[in-house]
Every structure is written in structure tokens, then in C-alpha cells.
Amino acid sequence: MKITFKVLRFHPERDEKPHFDSWDLEVEPTDRVLDLLEQVRGFYDGSLAFRRSCAHGVCGSDAMRINGRNRLACKVLVRDLDSNTITVEPLLGLRVLKDLIVDMDPFFKAYRSVKPYLIHTSPPVADGRERLQSPEQRERFDDTTKCILCAACTTSCPAYWSNGDYVGPAAIVNAHRFIFDSRDQGAAERLRILNEQTGVWRCRTVFNCTEACPRDIKITQAIAEVKRAILTGKLD
Amino acid sequence: MTQTHIFDVIIVGGGGAGLMAALNASKSAKTAVISKLYPSRSHTGAAQGGIGAALGNLEEDQPEWHTYDTVKGSDWLGDQDAIEFMCAEAVQAVYDLEQMGLPFSRTPDGRIAQRPFGGHTNNLTGKPVRRSCYAADRTGHMILQTLYQQCIKNETQFFDEFEVLDLILAEGAVAGVVALEMATGELHIFRARAIIFATGGYGRVWEITSNAYAYTGDGVAVTLRRGIPAQDMEFFQFHPTGIHKLGILITEAVRGEGGILINDQGERFMQRYAPHVRDLASRDVVSRAMYLEMREGRGIKGGRYLYLDVRPETVNRCAEEDGRTRPDGQPYRVTGEEILSKIPDIADFCRTYLGVDPITQPMPVQPTAHYAMGGIPTDLYGRVIVDAEKRVLPGLYAAGECACVSVHGANRLGTNSLVDLVVFGKHAGLDAARYATEAALPELPADALEFSRQQLDQLRNGDGSEQVAALTHEMQAVMFEDVGVFRTRQGLESAVEKIRQLRQRYAQGVRVKDTGKVFNTELVNAWELGNLLDLALVTAVSARERSESRGAHAREDFPERDDARWMKHTLAWLKDDEIRLDYKPVTITRFPPKERVY
């Protein structure tokens, strides 16, 4: 099938402001949007810049706006879009460095700020084996372990667009992953961080993040659970 | 203006091996990780089914059995001292990962869950054993995330989106690396006492591959250009179950949970090829069986694919035929819901890319290029070996898929890639730090940047008659056709010739049109194709010379293993267009070679 493929371009050494380039492409309905980007870079315009690696939705490199929604380019097929025009733009809320490549540093800084690692001060188990954790305890935080740090959620959030100091949904997801892990002892510290002005209270429950997540994490619910933990002081 | 940085230990690559090395080296040495991706994007994250370790959480198991299974899986080409070391260390490595916070799936009594995997057996009964420690079908993701989290806790220094172009040697030791900062287009020099390459594999050489775009063999190519050999490159694993046409991995855990392969006649054909463990035979064995089925016209609708069937009714029927039981002795029976809970990402891939629900429909699969058994030769401590006499190059280390210890020999067992990167990443990190405390910082040669500049200039100044994307497709087609699951002398000779021609066309014809400096991904991709072409040539020549069949190297003109002539590792050196080969002996300690039957 034939489609019109539009990409918002910005070459910092050449352009004063972004503009759309457009190509008429012959594609298969089962092609990924990433395949279209590769086709353009490979055969029409080598200067087109985008990030990609695994090409099947697990590395988180290629989050971008596709027909107005944050998606991974490798996880959206042409047939899913049901349109003869496919428009691709960089994520909103992060500075564009070139074409579809945005500055990820603020995103990773927010992630690091919530102490995204197991905090555990007790000595290892006496027999030298694993700590015990029941399947139910493990299930409690399963959903938020799936995060691939692609930034699709954070850059879909109006609260983040209006204030980049907000840690954003992805950072809260990664805090949640440890707060509700029965082996972790750092919940109080993380809840204190997320109770600050840059924390969870900036969330207005818009659900954009949940809709944007390519891993189907129930992000808004995770944020609500963190809010509740701050209010009640309980991790249930 | 070139920036120069000084560290004790530089690690090139931010995947599982690189991060394990960083965590261990930084305990006693000033360490940095240079990675062409953000580390959390690394291909370790795509590993699915598990990490093998004889914890014995669900049934009797022992590291000795893991050792023997790995030796057998390697078709007796793996070095047995290294395999024994790895399998013994695997148990503590898994407990260490759990200590770091890795969210393993759990057994009802709260221990790390384990599942069967291809080639892993109870050595007394010969039956599949539950050895693969897993977190659903996202084990690699959890390992990568956990190690990255620990690096953040540890305040590890990262240089993200820097592509290492060259290794600097001085006075017979390492002096540093040259890297291109993608955001600015500037070259940086990283001086160091020790360098660890942890750059992963090169599966993008093949047309159908499970590998990420990033898997372009950079570390092996860079060291080859500096006169360091590559070992056992003819051994490349084709995983039996890649999604038809796309190559995306469908984990062996699908078969571990009871899924089976069927042909166009609905037959469970692995019974004919591996009567004891059937669908859980070693990967090379299953991939060959699939090719033979397709060749005899039993591919689905006569095509180049077969079905992987994990529908509950199929699983339960086969479990009954096989007399499979649960750990408590109850018959093994599953529901669709239980299967989905064990392989949620696979279900997601099937729905996204195939429009297929694996609980109600079978999955179309074909063998897909997956894992490099070969790579930069090392010893047990990750130290790079530069000749058949096992001479070490001071300060140079490699770990993970880019290295060849060799623990995988001619064929890697499922789950052992993760064991390898955790165990040898750790030991490379520890030994590099130890070395760095003793070694002086070598002076840089005057022309430290020269070779990197030459390589980039060549790509800017070609005559423009060739396109990188087109050359890439040609290379991938040649390699998949003639250096794939089955090989012949004629096909390999033709492949060598075609790859030589592609290298010439690449050298003369590629001209990068983007003249900008900021994120010039066209330039980076063009350079990476040069790496792939070098490794394709080394692979094809190493394969052409090995006139036997062993593990993943299956020669139709030499169908038998030939221990008298070929029980040895290949070493290959690349100089310009010429490849020189030499061989070094296999270390055999406890397990004399015997016939390999599953």
C-alpha cells in the first residue's frame, strides 16, 4: 500500500526552526513505523536522526509521537494506525537535539532522584541463599517492574509539560517498584521525596501516562497507590 | 578540540557484562563505562527465559550436572576448566542478583522459581531438570535493570551515547580507547590502565535475526583491526523459534512450559530427532530438525516456517503422553491463564506483530540468528589471549557475548548467556581493577587519533556509488543463505567471495551525505557496517576451513564430528583483506568426548 510519511525535522546546524518533510512510501500493512524510518534513512535521506535498538518493544529507545500519540516506533504497525498518512514527531517536553532525538538527561535525572534501587540494610540470609518472598508479595509490585524507561509516559503528561521539575510518571513508577517490594527498606525515604512539591501531588489523574505506556503498566493506579501510601503511611 | 579523560579502568559497553564489570572494578579502581546506548537499552534486556544455576529449589540438581550439560551442549569444544568454574559460580551469582534486588518469580514456598530449558538435564535420569531461574519471560530485562540500578546507587560514571572507534596500544599494553561523542561529533580519548570490552554480539550480519540493531560486533572488529585474533567465529547459534520473517525471539521457555513444534501435517516432529528430550533438545539440534522438515516440504503450507504450539489442550495432551509431572508428583496440566502468566511478553509480541493469540492459535516460527559463541579470546579472568600459546595482552579484557572464554564451545545452552555475562563480567572487573593498581598509565602514542580519523574520513570521501542500507541487505542475504544453519564448501566459498566484493564496494563507494556533527547517525551506521563486514568475512572463512560438523557448525559435506582433526579452537587474524588462521587445543578435564545424543 501507499502512504504519506511525514516527519518533523530539526537539524541544529542547519535549521532555525522545525519543519515537516514528507515522503510517499510503498509499505506493507505489517511494517513497523520503525521500518518506515529505516527505509527513509537508508534510501532517501541519511541525515534523518532517530534512536532505535531492539526493534521489538523492550529496549525503550524509540518512543516518539506517532499520529499524535506517544508510541514506540517498533511496536506500532502501519495497519494499527488505519490511516494513509503517518505523522511522526519528537516527544514533547524534552529539548529536541536533532529530528526525533530528544535530550534524555532531565528524564534520567528525575529517575535517579527517587533512589531507584533496592535499599536493604539487614545482613544477608544466614544460609547464604535467597531471601524468601511469597508469590503474592512478588505480585504486589510486578506491574511496575516492566518499565523500560522509554519516557512515553512522562512526555505525555500535561503536568510535566507545564513544569519540568515534576519528577513525572516514569520516576514514580520506578519508586513504586521498590516501595511495594517486601524486601526493600527505603519506602519512607522515597515517600518523603515524592511528597515534595516536585512529587506525586502534581499528578492530576489525566491518565495520559497509562494510555501512552507501551508496556501496559497501570501507571495512574501506581501513582494513586503511592499517594495513598503517603497519606496513610501504610504499604498495603 | 579533543577531550582527554583518565581512568584506571574503562569498560566499553553498558549491558549485563559491562555493568557487572563496572560494579566490581569500581570497588577499588577509578572506573567509567562508555556505551553507545543508554545502558538500559542494551540487548541483555531482550533475554527472556532465565539464567541457569543449580539451586535445586524444585528438585535435585547440582553444578556438576550443569557442567556436564554445558560440555555436552558445546559438543565438547568448550574448555572444561572454564565451564566447571562458571557453573560452580552460577549459584552464588544468582543469589548475588537476588541480594541486589532482582525480582525473580517465586515458588509457593518463596524461593526463586526455576523452569526446564533445552539441554539441561538430571544426569541420572536424562530427563529435563528445572534449572533456569526466571522472572516471567523478562529475565534479561530484570538483570539489566537491577545492575543499572546498582550502578546508580554506586554512582558509577557513564559516558552514554559514545561510540568507541579504536583501541590504543602502546609498548605492548593497552593505553586507552578513542570514542565518538554522538551528541557533538567530537572525538574523545580515554586513557586507562585496563580496558574491558563488553560490546555484545554481531547477529545483524544475518537477514533473520533476534538481535538488536546495536549488535554490530564493534568490540571484536576494533580489536581485530589492532591485531588481536577472534576465536571460534564459525560457531554462531540459530535459535529455533524466531517470529516468522521478523526474527523476534520466542523464548525456549515456551517449550519449557510444555509447548511443542509441529509441522504442516500436525506432527510433533522433534520426537524423531531427539527421542529422549524432544522439543527440549539443544538449540542447534532443533534448528537443524526444523530445516530438514522444511526442506522435505513439511513447512507450514510448504513455506519456510513451522508452528510453535502452546495452546493448553496441546500442552496437556503432550504432557500426558510424556508422563510429565509437577514437583509434587501431580500430573502436569495447565490452563491458558497459567501459560499467559509465565510468558506475558511473548503473548504481547504475538498479538502485536502477528495478530495471533498464543493460547488459541499456534505461532509461526523459523530459526533466527541469535548468539555468537565466538569472539575475543580470553581466560577465566577475562584477560585477552592473543595467540595459540595463550599469551596475554596486558591490560586488555573482554566479557560477555563479545568474548570467547570458551564456555559455549560449538553451541551455547539456553540460559548460559546470562550466566556467562554475570560470572565473567564480575571476574573481568575484579581482575582489571587488580591489574590497574599495579600497572603504570602508558603514554599515548603521538598519533592516537589518526586511525579513527582515517576510518571516518574514508566514509565521508567515497565515490557515493553505494548505499549502506543496500550493502547491508546484500550481506545479510548472503550470510543467511550460505553461512546459516547448514553449510557446504561450495556455499562458503561463494560467501567468502561475495563478502570480499561487498567489502571492496563498501571501501570505495560509501559516502556519508550528512555533513553535520550532531547525532550523525548515518556516519555511525556506515562505520558499523564496516564492522559487520569484517566479522562476516572472518566467520565465513573460519567456517570454510572447518571440515567437520560440530554444534552449530553443520557441514553437509562433512556431516560427522571429527575429533581427531578438529577438536581445537580456531583463531583468526584479519589484515586488510587477508585472514590468517591458527588453532589452539581444547581444555578437557573430566569429560572425555563422546557421541552427543538428546
The tens digit of pLDDT for each residue in A73-105 reads 999 999 999 999 999 999 999 999 999 999 999
- Residues A53, A55, A56: CA angle, nearest 5 degrees: 130
Give me the residues of B, 564-593, that contact A with CB < 8 A. none
**Band of pLDDT at residue B11, cut at 50, 70 and 90:** very high
The mean pLDDT of chain B is: 97
Q: What's the pLDDT at A122? A: 81
Q: What's the pLDDT at B574? A: 98
Contact state of B107 with A216 under an 8 Å Cβ cutoff: no
Do A133 and A141 contact (CB within 8 A), yes or no?
no
Q: What's the pLDDT at B370? A: 98
Residue B391 appears among annotated catalytic residues: no
Tell how strand B392-398 and strand B186-197 pair up.
parallel
Nearest CA in chain B to A124: B99
Q: Do the domains B3-46+141-236+370-438 and B450-576 sit in the same CATH topology, yes or no?
A: no
The amino acid at residue B485 is V
| A123-132, A201-210, B153-162, B405-414, range with the lowest pLDDT | A123-132
Q: What's the pLDDT at A124? A: 81
Do B572 and B538 contact (CB within 8 A), yes or no?
yes
- Nearest by CB to residue A128, choosing from B46, B95, B100, is B95
CATH code linked to domain A2-102: 3.10.20.30
CATH code linked to domain B243-367: 3.90.700.10
With a cut of 90, say whether residue B128 has pLDDT above it.
yes
- For residue range B219-261, list pLDDT tens digits in order: 999 999 999 999 999 999 999 999 999 999 999 999 999 999 9
Do B354 and B294 contact (CB within 8 A), yes or no?
no
Contact state of B521 with A12 under an 8 Å Cβ cutoff: no
**Which class would CATH give B3-46+141-236+370-438?**
alpha beta
- For residue range B488-530, list pLDDT tens digits in order: 999 999 999 999 999 999 999 999 999 999 999 999 999 999 9
Give CA–CA dist B530/A81, Å, rounded.
Answer: 36
Do B258 and B324 contact (CB within 8 A), yes or no?
yes
Provide mean pLDDT across the span B90-104: 98
Q: How far is CA A190 from CA A178, B73, B127, B259, in A?
A: 9, 46, 47, 42
Q: Where are the domains of chain B?
A: 3-46+141-236+370-438, 51-140, 243-367, 450-576
β-pair partners for B179: B164, B188
**Band of pLDDT at residue B130, cut at 50, 70 and 90:** very high
Nearest CA in chain B to A149: B40
Give me the residues of B, 112-131, that contact A with CB < 8 A. 112
Give me the residues of A, 89-148, that contact B with CB < 8 A. 97-99, 101, 104, 108, 112, 115-118, 120, 124, 128-135, 137-138, 141-142, 145-148
> Which residues, other chains included, contact B252 with Cβ-Cβ below 8 Å and sequence gap of 6+?
B49, B117, B118, B239, B240, B241, B280, B283, B414
Q: Does B46 touch chain A (CB under 8 A)?
A: yes
For domain B450-576, which CATH number applies: 3.30.230.10, 1.20.58.100, 3.90.1300.10, 3.40.50.2000?
1.20.58.100
With a cut of 90, say whether residue B331 has pLDDT above it.
yes
Contact state of B105 with A135 under an 8 Å Cβ cutoff: yes
**Band of pLDDT at residue A123, cut at 50, 70 and 90:** confident
Q: What's the complex ipTM?
A: 0.98
Q: What's the pLDDT at A72? A: 98
Collect all residues of chain A within an 8 Å Cβ-Cβ radius of residue B98.
130-131
Give CA–CA dist A234/A87, Å, rounded.
Answer: 45
With a cut of 90, say whether residue B577 has pLDDT above it.
no
Conformational region of residue A195, where left means phi above 0, alpha means psi within -120 to 50, and beta covers everything else: alpha
With a cut of 80, say whether residue A236 has pLDDT above it.
no
- For residue range B190-199, list pLDDT tens digits in order: 999 999 999 9
- Nearest by CB to residue B248, choosing from A38, A56, A141, is A56
Do B420 and B405 contact (CB within 8 A), yes or no?
yes
Give me the residues of B, 442-501, that contact A with CB < 8 A. 467-470, 472
Please tell me which residue in B138, B204, B283, B561 is annotated as part of the active site.
B283
Q: How far is CA A135 from CA A210, B49, B52, B53, in A?
A: 25, 18, 20, 20
Give me the residues of A, 6-65, that contact B with CB < 8 A. 11-14, 30, 38, 41-43, 46-61
- Cβ atoms < 10 Å from Cβ of B446: 7
Provide mean pLDDT across the span A117-130: 90
**Band of pLDDT at residue B576, cut at 50, 70 and 90:** confident
Q: Where are the domains of chain A?
A: 2-102, 105-232
Per the structure block, which three cell numbers stand in for A99? 529530528
- Nearest by CB to residue A117, choosing from B108, B149, B467, is B149
Provide mean pLDDT across the span A221-230: 98
Per the structure block, which three cell numbers stand in for B237? 547459534
Tell the CATH superfamily of the A105-232 domain: Alpha-helical ferredoxin (1.10.1060.10)
pLDDT > 70 in chain B, percent: 100
Tell which residue, B273, B351, B270, has the closest CA to residue B318. Answer: B270
Give CA–CA dist B378/B399, Å, rounded.
Answer: 8
pLDDT > 90 in chain B, percent: 98
| Residue B372 distance to chain A (closest CA, Å) | 17
- Nearest by CB to residue A47, choosing from B106, B352, B516, is B516
Provide mean pLDDT across the span B434-444: 96
With a cut of 80, say whether residue B1 has pLDDT above it.
no
> Can you list the positions of beta strands (E) in B13-106?
31-35, 51-52
Tell which residue, B43, B39, B41, B32, has the closest CA to residue B188. Answer: B32
Contact state of B516 with A13 under an 8 Å Cβ cutoff: yes
Give CA–CA dist B143/B400, Å, rounded.
Answer: 14
Q: How far is CA B522 from CA B153, B178, B236, B295, in A?
A: 35, 19, 28, 39
Do B282 and B413 contact (CB within 8 A), yes or no?
yes
Q: Does B150 touch chain A (CB under 8 A)?
A: yes
- For residue range B64-84, list pLDDT tens digits in order: 999 999 999 999 999 999 999
**Band of pLDDT at residue B402, cut at 50, 70 and 90:** very high
| Residue B516 distance to chain A (closest CA, Å) | 7
Q: What's the pLDDT at A91? A: 98
pLDDT > 90 in chain A, percent: 96
With a cut of 80, say whether residue B180 has pLDDT above it.
yes
Q: What's the pLDDT at B56? A: 98
